[in-house]
Structure 1
Amino acid sequence: MKRGFEIVSKYQGEDLTLPVRATQNAAGYDFCAAKDFVLPSIWKRNFLQILHALRKQKEHTAKELVAANKVLKPYLVPTGIKAYMQPDEFLMLANRSSNPLKHGLILPNGVGIVDADYYGNDNNEGEIFFQLVNFGLTDKVIKKGERLGQGIFLPYLLADDEATPLAKRTGGFGSSGR
């Protein structure tokens, strides 16, 4: 088996749907929420007050910066799905085109990258989460089975003079960063 999807063990028997392509020529596999999830609106979390305070000052206290970052913090919406692929591939997670327009939802980093060695890691078995921020005026209730985003399998290339990395993944979400 070259690439595909499985349900992580904690969601076995919970009637989750594996990602599928909606049409014959669709590049992306639609991912759905593993459970009901409330994604708070940034407008309900003092966003305007914090933005106004930050704009008035040239220098900001650590407390103000922490408050601003907390308001814009993305939430991790679980899918209950893990992806397996070849070592020279990755799964790119992308927003649905309707998310910003209809629902006010965005991926704060534009795309997500799921490395091949994320599958089966000890921390979370390789469960894929979608990072989302809700810029809509009201909280967004995401229902179990509702489409969150899409995943596209892609190959990648290596630089000619790259030294082979020797580190092995030791964690789950976000663990390959420094």
Structure 2
Amino acid sequence: MTRGFEIVSSYADEGLHLPYRTTKSAAGYDFESAVDFKVPSIWKMDFLKVLWAIRHQENVDDATLQKARKILKPFLIPTGIKAYMGDGEVLVLANRSSNPLKRSLVIPNGIGVIDADYYNNESNEGEIFMQVLNFGLTDAKVAKGDRIGQGIFMHYLTADNEQEPQQKRQGGFGSSGK
């Protein structure tokens, strides 16, 4: 097996679907939500007050910055899915084109990167989560089985003069960096 998807053990009996391509020429595999999930609107969390404070203060205090970070912290929607792939490959997670239109959901950094060594890690078995922010005026309701993102397998290149990293992944989500 070269690349593909599996259901993580904690969702084995939950009736989840493996990611799938909807059309013959689709590059992306659609991921579904593993649970019912509510993504709060940033506007309901005093976002305008924080923006106003940042705009009108010469020196923004730490409390205001902390509040802004909390408001803009992405929510993680579980998929119950893990992906395996070969060396030199990556699974890139991207927003579905309908998410901003239908639900006002966006992936905050534009994409997500799932490395090959994320698969079956000790921390969370390699479960993939979709990071989202809701810029809509109301909370976004995501039902179990709703398509929430897509994944595209890709090859990547490394630099000629790279000193190859020796470190092995030690954990799950966000564990390969600070």
Tell me the TM-score range normalised by the shorter chain.
over 0.9
Aligned-partner residue type, residue 98 of structure 2: S
TM-score normalised according to structure 1 size: 0.99
Aligned-partner residue type, residue 76 of structure 2: L
Give, in whole Å, the separation in 1 of the partners of 2:50 and 2:163.
Answer: 45
Matched, 1:135 2:138: no
* Displacement of 1:82: 0.1
State the secondary structure of the residue aligned to 2:131.
strand
Q: Which residue number corresponds to residue 99 of structure 2?
A: 99
* Residues 128-174 of structure 1: per-residue CA shift (max 9 Å, x gap): 00000000110011000000000000000111111111000001001
Identity within the alignment, %: 61
Are the counterparts in 2 of residues 89 and 116 from structure 1 also a CA contact under 8 Å? yes
In angstroms, what is the RMSD of aligned CA positions? 0.6
Equivalent residues in 2 for 1:41-120 (5 A)? 41-120=41-120
Give, in whole Å, the separation in 2 of the partners of 1:49 and 1:162.
Answer: 46
Q: How many residues align?
A: 178
* Displacement of 1:103: 1.3
Give, in whole Å, the separation in 2 of the partners of 1:13 and 1:4.
Answer: 19
Structure 2 portions without partners, runs of 5+: none
Aligned-partner residue type, residue 145 of structure 1: G
Q: Which residue number corresponds to residue 12 of structure 1?
A: 12
Give, in whole Å, the separation in 1 of the partners of 2:98 and 2:38.
Answer: 18
State the secondary structure of the residue aligned to 2:157.
coil
Give, in whole Å, the separation in 2 of the partners of 1:95 and 1:149.
Answer: 5
Q: Which residue number corresponds to residue 27 of structure 1?
A: 27
Where in structure 1 do 4 or more consecutive aligned residues deviate above 2 Å? none
Are the counterparts in 2 of residues 74 and 108 from structure 1 also a CA contact under 8 Å? yes
Are the counterparts in 2 of residues 87 and 117 from structure 1 also a CA contact under 8 Å? no
Give, in whole Å, the separation in 2 of the partners of 1:55 and 1:49.
Answer: 10
Aligned-partner residue type, residue 119 of structure 1: Y
TM-score normalised according to structure 2 size: 0.99
State the secondary structure of the residue aligned to 1:6.
strand
